[in-house]
Chains A and B, each alone.
Chain A
Amino acid sequence: MHDGGKILTGLAVFLVLALLPFWHNAVGGTAAAPQPKIVTQEKECVAPRETIRSTHMELLNTWRDTVVREGTRTYMDARGKTVNMSLTNTCLSCHPNKKEFCDACHNYLAVSPYCWQCHVEKKESA
């Protein structure tokens, strides 16, 4: 094999890079999936669990547009109750533990919503 040493080195580098997630997990170990903690007494969210998990950002976006552009602030949720369309006053009234709830999932996927640059987080009640 001509230049065998160099080519085999290149192949070794390829193996390291192509399978990096495998090595990374073998060496670094992994944390378990996030368990967002529900602290409210309520039984249901503003949408069924499966829906809210994957689409809460779209819901928030719709709320924002509705409030800011149309001035409407009430929303009929999946439970048939009307709620005030508000990030801090509604979502965080049932989920005041932002760090253990919202952030638990978001950190897991390196999502960092910029909303909190303007919107107020509730003071965490211990």
Chain B
Amino acid sequence: MRIVLALVAVGVLAGIAWAGGQSPAMQAFLAIVAPYVAIAVFVVGIGARVIGWARSAVPFRIPTTCGQERSLSFIRFSPLDNPSSSLGAVGRMALEVLTFRSLFRNTRAELKPGGRLVYSSDKWLWAGALLFHYSFLAVFLRHYRFFVEPVPKVIAVLQGLDGFFQVGVPVFFLTSFGLIAGLGYLLARRLVDARMRYLSLPADYFPLFLLLGIALTGIGMRHLWKVDIVRVKELAIGLVNFHPAVPQGVGPLFYVHLFLVSALLAYFPFSKLVHMAGVFLSPTRNLANNNRAVRHLNPWNPPIVGHTYAEWEEEFHDKMKAAGLPLDRE
């Protein structure tokens, strides 16, 4: 049911774009209004999320890390897993962002016959996630050719490497395949295991289907139902120069691709996909563990309001005097 919901949502988006791609009024919406709105929502949304996180209190450094903390000189500590300096924290962050180090520690729990619970290392998620993210990055960077003229040399080189095997005309890109394979794995992972199915929500399936839709329409446009990409580039250049014009004669498939991308951008800041920004603000990754070396004050401690005996005596001065109690000040 949850998976159907997500599939239907992506289907409706694609259907709107497919139908709209055939009427001129809707084309202007799909090619111009939707991308601008999506970019604005994306940039402002991510900014707002980051500022929101930045305003939360940081009482002290979270020490739940995977290595020995730096303490006495004769105890070996792990500078990358449990860094004591900012430089170390930068190193840990870089490893996390570039190599998904914490996914590398992924384990799976299995109930063996006889009720024995066995934990084993499981590197598939790590490998699948790496494949997906790096393919996405390469596809994303290659698309830069649509947005600038002349195309930078690095992009051309990347494109050459990606099409190195020269399979087909136009050449098939390795990362197009990597993207589909990665997404396919990430989806299958949620489907084959009953426990993963139980844990998965529409919000988990939706981004997967959305990205699959984008990748499949992209590959479809390149290899099966050709569109005139010279005109696509004219649109893209128009968009980034703020004088967009609806392109003539690009098929509805392009509108589906573009509208799903717009939907992805607009959905990004409100979904689990913000982990792109969030990973940089994870307290267990970005803060050096120096709890024992530096004093961290809890920012939400209430201010301590003292009330000295002298002030107290002042307050009850008359009453005490009337009762004949001894007073300090007299």
Contacts and interface: CB of A to CB of B under 8 A. Distances in A.
Interface of A: 1-4, 7, 10-11, 14-15, 18-22, 24-25, 28, 30-31, 33-34, 50, 53-55, 57-58, 60-61, 105, 107-114
B308 to A, nearest CB: 34
B54 A22 contact: no
B229 A109 contact: yes
A22 B240 contact: yes
A4 to B, nearest CB: 7
B43 A15 contact: yes
Interface string B223-259: 0001111100110110011000000010000000000
A54 B43 contact: no
B237 A53 contact: no
Q: Chain A's interface: helix, strand, loop or mixed, by majority?
A: helix
Q: Chain B's interface: helix, strand, loop or mixed, by majority?
A: helix
Nearest to B150: A31
Contact of A108 (B39, B147, B226, B230): B230
21 contacts: A2-B58, A3-B54, A4-B54, A7-B50, A7-B281, A10-B280, A14-B50, A18-B46, A21-B236, A25-B147, A25-B240, A28-B148, A30-B149, A33-B234, A53-B228, A57-B170, A61-B169, A108-B233, A109-B151, A112-B156, A113-B169
Interface of B: 39, 42-43, 46-47, 50-51, 54-55, 57-58, 144-151, 155-156, 159-160, 166, 168-170, 226-230, 233-234, 236-237, 240-241, 249, 277, 280-281
Given A58-B169, A60-B169, A110 B159 contact: yes
Contacts of B39: 19
